[in-house]
Amino acid sequence: MDIRLKRAYEAPAPSDGPRILVDRIWPRGVSKEDADIAHWLKGLSPSTELRKWFGHDPDKWDEFQKRYLKELKSDNAFDDIETLKSLLAERKRITLVFAAKDTKHNNAVALKTFVQEDKL
């Protein structure tokens, strides 16, 4: 399983495989045509409350990951988790697309880690 991460503001590439947007809000200034998103799985994004609390503060990263994993294991995320698992089973590579400026501390990074560590 090859999971790549890419900002929504980076150009799509044929090597990306299916591009999956994992943010609740569409990236500002990016057209749907330019984004080339195959699936928009809003249920994989952190809640508004968690996102605002975190604010991409690296000091809150560990706690954010714990809270985010708890949200992903809730019934609210179930359908989108199943869709993600299905995509992973049928594809060699997917790309999780996110809008955050911080490329090291965001929900796509945490989601990739959870999937690779089989925590979902």
- pLDDT by residue, tens only, the chain of 120 residues: 799 999 999 999 999 999 999 999 999 999 999 999 999 999 999 999 999 999 999 999 999 999 999 999 988 899 999 999 999 998 889 999 999 999 999 999 999 999 999 887
Among the listed residues 78, 73, 75, 95, the one whose alpha carbon sits nearest the alpha carbon of residue 14:
95
What's the total number of domains in the chain? 1
Burial class (CB in 10 A: 0-12, 13-18, 19+), 94: buried
Token duo for residue 14: 């044929």
Rounded Cα gap, residues 46 and 77, in angstroms? 10
pTM: 0.94
The residue range of the domain holding 98 is 2-116
When computed from its CA atoms, the radius of gyration of the chain, rounded to whole angstroms, is: 13
Assess contact for 36 and 107: CB atoms under 8 A: no
